[in-house]
Amino acid sequence: MTTLPSPTRARTASRRRRWLAEVGWKYPVALVVVFYAAFPLVYALSAALDERGSLSGSEVLFRTVSLNNFSALGDTLFWTWVGNTLLVGGAAALGAVLMGAAAAYAFSRFRFRGRRASLTTLLIVQMFPQTVAFVAVFLLLITLGEAVPLLGINSKLALICVYLGGALGANTFLMYGFFNTIPIEIDEAARIDGASHAQIYWRLVMPLVVPILAVVGLLAFIAAFGDFILAKIVLTGQSNWTLAVGMYQWVSNQLTSNWGLFAAGAMIASLPVLALFLSLQRYIVGGLASGSVKG
Amino acid sequence: MSASRPSETDPHSSATPDAAATPDAAVATGGARPARGGPARSGRPRGSGGPGESHARAWTGPGWGFVVKLLIMMVINAIGVMAIMSAYAAGSWVVLTVLVVLLALADWIYFSRRTLPLKYLYPGLVFLAVFQLFTLAYTGYVAFTNYGTGHLGSMQQAVDAALIQAEQRVEDSPSYPLAVVREDGEIGFAINNDGVVQVGTEEEPLEAVAGAVVDTAGTPIEVPGWDVVPRAELFADTALQEQVVELRVPVSDEAADGSIRTREGSTGAVYSSSLTWDPAARTLTDAETGTVYSPDDRGNFVSSDGQRLAAGWYVPVGFDNFVRAFTDTAYAGPLLQVTAWTFGFGILTVLTSFGLGLVLAMIYNDQRVRGQKVLRTIFILPYAFPAFMSALLWRGMLNSEFGVINEWFFFGANVDWLGDPWLAKFVILWVNLWLSYPYWFLVSTGALQALPTDVMEAARIDGAGRLRQFTSISLPLLMVSTAPLAIASFAFNFNNFTIIFMLTNGGPAFPGASVPLGATDILISAIYQISGVSGGRADYGLASALSIIVFIVIGIISALAFRQTRKLEEI
């Protein structure tokens, strides 16, 4: 045996060629895509860790690794903004879940006059985003603020209320579909056992729909977290700003000197979202597929 | 489309929710929650249910659920009554009426037995009605008025504003030593008029008070019945300063006598307006020149020789705003370009990101590629990064002087990415591609995995090539599930204010245009600029008219989407 039998070698070669043509080329392409997807984020991390924290000279990755920018955030209103964002987003998410679930339960379980009409109306209303009517929102809040100062311009409560106004339209259908998959026999059995509608709702149906509650809550939180136009109009005082408004101000005013602050803030603010998103990927895609928000 | 619909529901892991926690949550959001319930099923029935009786019949009236409901409704009523009182104090009758109706409805719904579905729908409906339906309708109304700078508020407000604008210090008015006084949150002035201390507020004209103490400079330092605001506090509190500067205390019941005002909070003088308002004739007369200003149908006071007062009120103007958007030379040209770019941006951004996402999904939906999970996670990183931060991040990276894009890929050339109309448009598409291709990658991957394999196999056996398999089977099937999403995505990007505003702020501005619009403005950012909600000249009427146009476009798109969905499902 001096050489391999030539047919085998030819087969190996052709196999490799086929591998290259069908699978192999995908790796270099993947490398390009990975670079495209990741380099802005890697750059942002490097800028966050840069000692000087200015845009000029940030082109060398990881030249210095220091936490200066992170500690400098303490001298700004950054943590106030984080708190505001969590408060507004959390309240909007909780409200969206509670109101959306209650409405979906009613539509799914009760047969009442005007049910179909209300469902159709909701379907139509949800197509017209609140953000386009921001002028009217602004004028409404000015009027409301004169009567009830807590609901006026520059109130976080007012912003939460505005977000909740869009909650029913955006979430009812998503939840309605899910509620319909819970067999109504469960309700009936409980009713025969003497449970009231409230008991059925809180103790039987709600535990069964936890997945959709999580999806809606998360989507509502992300929507509030990412909203800029309404937050910018409603919240006028610095200490009331959410992250979106505050960080926009950093970058639009003196971008070069605030760059390190922005990068550090972006790292802090995006990490929880990133972690949450990646761990709940499946749910979010499911939610997106059945009635998208972002994209 | 059910790429990966959450479906695992484990009734055991989520035991009965904490009964005490749920009502708290409902209160926190201001929504009334139906918490009506009988006694817990396991609870011993009260009353005299015999041992042989079915426990379904053992209902003996309200249990703890009713108590919880009662408590929540008490809180809601308390809040509601407080809001109503506040509206009453401010004299906002419309708000007051709405609040009363909403509160009465809430009480009726949660204490009546015949309103079961409404118990669950009401909280959501209230917010929907006030903050969405009303704003949509109100947009429609404002679009047909000239609401904006110079036309804010009612005619009476315009009169007040005109009187104030024409106000001047009376020439021979002496300076009175003055102190700011306060009682029950109401502020007023105490002045020393030749040794007599007089006190008045906005509503109450000056009146002498006995027993006041003045210091050596004559400034009142103690006024019976009032708290004198210390000077130090006045200096520290800017909100109070504003109130003080705005405050006018009438000298007497006669408006012509003028009122006391102060600039610095320590001396006051008499101011009076050169205009006088005649409510019967609805005219304003300038006492100095004798000019008479009368109202016109555009919400302005105009004199016979064409002079116009700055303060006006808003009136319905019909289709003027729409006509202005299309024909006014200052607006028509820029708005046409903005509209074209809005469509161009919406369509191109969906096509590019859908395209890239789909291609990547097809390439990497392949069991033979190793490390699929890691690759997928990295691919979708941009989507998990909050959108507004991505836009800001790219804004810095694309900075022409210091940005890394120029440094790394263009050898330090100063390419002005955000300052050139076409480059800026390209950059917006590029950044939005980066932001949103992962979405399409995820959606397409899900859709590809859900494709039926038997059809593909049959096609292969019939001799269809790979291209043929894709164009004739995979793509049409994919479109069924993704076309509605593509249309939704178009509608979303049609109004994608965040990316435009954060990345380019609509700029670069149109050269020579008198309106604050730029080459990358889309309709919603143009509306934002025109509306003036962030300061500058406000034109709510025109902005609302443009909003209506956007609504019409969205309505058409949505209608198309419905039909398209149905058509595609027939394939």
End-to-end CA distance of chain B: 15
Radius of gyration of chain A (CA): 26
Q: A51 or A290: whose pLDDT is higher?
A: A51
Token pair of A205, please?
A: 């149906």
Q: Does residue B168 register a pLDDT over 70?
A: yes
- Selection from B7, B41, B35, B40 nearest residue A182 by Cα: B7
- Position A3 scores a pLDDT of 53
Q: Which of A43, A94, A135 sits opposite B404 (nearest CB)?
A: A43
Mean pLDDT score, B295-302: 82
Q: B2 or B177: whose pLDDT is higher?
A: B177
Phi, psi of B168 (to 5 degrees): -135, 160
Q: Per mean pLDDT, which of B41-45, B391-395, B471-475, B567-571 is the most reliable?
A: B391-395
Q: Does residue B232 register a pLDDT over 60?
A: yes
Q: Which residue has the tokens 């966050």?
A: A48
Do residues A41 and B438 make contact, with C-beta atoms less than 8 angstroms apart?
A: no
Q: What angle do CA A144, B165, B157 make, to 5 degrees?
A: 35
Do residues A211 and B355 make contact, with C-beta atoms less than 8 angstroms apart?
A: no
HEC string of B494-505? HCCHHHHHHHCC
- Position A286 scores a pLDDT of 54
Q: How far is CA B429 from the centre of its chain?
A: 27
Helices marked H in B310-380 = 320-327, 329-364, 372-379
Mean pLDDT score, A263-287: 77
Residues 6+ apart with CB under 8 A from B130: A140, A161, A165, B98
Using N-to-C axis directions, what is the helix angle for A115-125 and A167-180, rounded to 10°?
Answer: 130
Token pair of B151, please?
A: 């036309």
| Cβ–Cβ contact A247 with B under 8 A | yes
Question: In angstroms, rounded to a whole number, what is the distance separating the alpha carbons of residues A217 and A242?
Answer: 18
Do residues B145 and B314 make contact, with C-beta atoms less than 8 angstroms apart?
A: yes
Cα distances (angstroms) measured from residue A263 to each of A65, B323, B385, B391, B501: 13, 46, 13, 12, 19
Fold (topology level) of A76-289: MetI-like fold (1.10.3720)
Mean pLDDT score, B125-132: 92
- Please give, rounded to a whole number of angstroms, the shortest distance from the CA of B358 to a CA of chain A: 13
Choose the mutation target among B96, B389, B440, B443 for the interface with A, i.e. most A CBs under 10 Å. B389
Q: How far is CA B376 from the centre of its chain?
A: 37
Mean pLDDT score, B286-311: 80
Do residues B291 and B303 make contact, with C-beta atoms less than 8 angstroms apart?
A: yes
- Position A96 scores a pLDDT of 94
Q: Which residue has the tokens 């190793």?
A: B370
Least confident window among A33-37, B93-97, B509-513: B509-513
Do residues A218 and B384 make contact, with C-beta atoms less than 8 angstroms apart?
A: no
- Across the interface, whether the CB atoms of B116 and A197 are under 8 A apart is answered yes
- Position B71 scores a pLDDT of 93
Fold (topology level) of B326-569: MetI-like fold (1.10.3720)
Q: Which of A23, A98, A247 sits opposite B368 (nearest CB)?
A: A23
Phi, psi of A164 (to 5 degrees): -65, -25
CATH pick for B168-273 out of 2.60.40, 1.10.10, 1.20.1510, 2.40.430: 2.40.430
Do residues B33 and B110 make contact, with C-beta atoms less than 8 angstroms apart?
A: no
Rounded to two decimals, the pTM is: 0.79
Average pLDDT along chain A: 85
Question: In angstroms, rounded to a whole number, what is the distance separating the alpha carbons of residues A65 and A130?
Answer: 44
Question: In angstroms, rounded to a whole number, what is the distance separating the alpha carbons of residues A210 and A203?
Answer: 12
- Position A282 scores a pLDDT of 65
Tell me which DSSP letter residue A130 carries: G
HEC string of A164-221? HHCHHHHHHHHHHHHHHCCCHHHHHHHHHCCCCHHHHHHHHHHHHCHHHHHHHHHHHH
End-to-end CA distance of chain A: 62
pLDDT confidence band for B507 (50 / 70 / 90): confident
Token pair of A228, please?
A: 């800029």
User: pLDDT (tens digit, 9 = 90+) per residue, A45-103?
Assistant: 998 988 877 777 777 778 888 888 898 888 889 999 999 999 999 999 999 999 999 99
- Across the interface, whether the CB atoms of B399 and A136 are under 8 A apart is answered no
Residue-by-residue DSSP string for B153-165:
S-HHHHHHHHHHH
Dihedral of CA B299/B303/B304/B307: which sign? negative
Q: Does residue B38 register a pLDDT over 50?
A: no
B325: number of Cβ within 10 Å? 19
Cα distances (angstroms) measured from residue B247 to each of B200, B241, B476: 11, 10, 71
- Position B17 scores a pLDDT of 38
- Position A295 scores a pLDDT of 34
Question: Judging by beta carbons within 10 Å of its beta carbon (0-12, 13-18, 19+), is residue B15 exposed, middle or buried?
Answer: exposed
Least confident window among A29-33, A240-244, B123-127, B460-464: B460-464
Contacts of A106 in chain B (CB under 8 A): 117, 119-121
Q: Per mean pLDDT, which of A155-164, B14-23, B201-210 is the most reliable?
A: A155-164
- Position B371 scores a pLDDT of 84
- Across the interface, whether the CB atoms of A167 and B127 are under 8 A apart is answered yes
Question: In angstroms, rounded to a whole number, what is the distance separating the alpha carbons of residues B185 and B14?
Answer: 51
- Selection from A139, A141, A135, A132 nearest residue A162 by Cα: A141
Question: In angstroms, rounded to a whole number, what is the distance separating the alpha carbons of residues B393 and B404?
Answer: 11
- Across the interface, whether the CB atoms of A288 and B443 are under 8 A apart is answered yes
Question: In angstroms, rounded to a whole number, what is the distance separating the alpha carbons of residues B129 and B313?
Answer: 27
Token pair of B139, please?
A: 């947009």
Q: What angle do CA B105, B111, B117 make, to 5 degrees?
A: 70
Question: In angstroms, rounded to a whole number, what is the distance separating the alpha carbons of residues A220 and A101?
Answer: 13
- ipTM comes to 0.87
- Across the interface, whether the CB atoms of A129 and B443 are under 8 A apart is answered no
Average pLDDT along chain B: 81
Contacts of A158 in chain B (CB under 8 A): none
Residue-by-residue DSSP string for B219-268:
-EEEBTTBEEPPHHHHHH-HHHHHHHHH--EESSS-GGG-EEEESSSSEE
Radius of gyration of chain B (CA): 34
B458: number of Cβ within 10 Å? 12
Dihedral of CA B314/B316/B320/B322: which sign? positive
Mean pLDDT score, B287-295: 80
- Position B505 scores a pLDDT of 87
Tell me which DSSP letter residue B146 carries: -
- Across the interface, whether the CB atoms of A233 and B534 are under 8 A apart is answered yes
User: pLDDT (tens digit, 9 = 90+) per residue, A194-223?
Assistant: 888 888 999 889 999 988 898 889 888 888
pLDDT confidence band for B567 (50 / 70 / 90): low
Cα distances (angstroms) measured from residue A177 to each of A99, A104, A170, A288, B520: 15, 8, 13, 14, 39
* % of chain B surpassing 90 pLDDT: 26
- Position A1 scores a pLDDT of 47
Domain boundaries along the sequence of chain A:
6-70, 76-289
pLDDT confidence band for B475 (50 / 70 / 90): confident
Question: In angstroms, rounded to a whole number, what is the distance separating the alpha carbons of residues B535 and B545?
Answer: 19
Mean pLDDT score, B60-78: 84
Q: Does residue B513 register a pLDDT over 80?
A: no
Q: Does residue B360 register a pLDDT over 70?
A: yes
Do residues A139 and B540 make contact, with C-beta atoms less than 8 angstroms apart?
A: yes
Residues 6+ apart with CB under 8 A from B457: none
- Position B248 scores a pLDDT of 83
pLDDT confidence band for A135 (50 / 70 / 90): very high
- The strand pairing partners of B228, in sequence order, are B181
Contacts of B90 in chain A (CB under 8 A): 146-147
Q: Does residue B366 register a pLDDT over 60?
A: yes
Question: In angstroms, rounded to a whole number, what is the distance separating the alpha carbons of residues A213 and B335?
Answer: 42
Tell me which DSSP letter residue B130 carries: I
Least confident window among A20-29, B127-136, B160-169: B160-169
| Cβ–Cβ contact B393 with A under 8 A | yes
- Position A284 scores a pLDDT of 58
| Cβ–Cβ contact B95 with A under 8 A | yes
- Position A5 scores a pLDDT of 58
Contacts of A40 in chain B (CB under 8 A): 382, 390, 393-394, 397, 434
Q: Which of B38, B392, B492 sits opposite A295 (nearest CB)?
A: B492
- Selection from B352, B536, B365 nearest residue B428 by Cα: B352
Question: In angstroms, rounded to a whole number, what is the distance separating the alpha carbons of residues B326 and B293?
Answer: 33
Residue-by-residue DSSP string for B93-116:
HHHHHHHHHHHHHHHHHHH-SS-H
- Position B76 scores a pLDDT of 94
- Across the interface, whether the CB atoms of A128 and B551 are under 8 A apart is answered yes
Q: Does residue B15 register a pLDDT over 60?
A: no
pLDDT confidence band for B501 (50 / 70 / 90): very high
Contacts of B382 in chain A (CB under 8 A): 37, 40-41
Least confident window among A46-50, B57-61, B567-571: B57-61
- Position B55 scores a pLDDT of 52
Q: What angle do CA B377, B381, B382 make, to 5 degrees?
A: 150
Domain boundaries along the sequence of chain B:
21-25+60-142, 168-273, 326-569
Chain A from 153 to 182: CB within 8 A of any B CB? 161-162, 164-169, 172, 182
Chain B from 118 to 157: CB within 8 A of any A CB? 119-121, 123-125, 127-128, 130-136, 138-139, 142, 147
Q: Which of A57, A140, A206 sits opposite B17 (nearest CB)?
A: A206
- Across the interface, whether the CB atoms of A23 and B369 are under 8 A apart is answered yes
- Selection from B166, B191, B169, B168 nearest residue B178 by Cα: B191
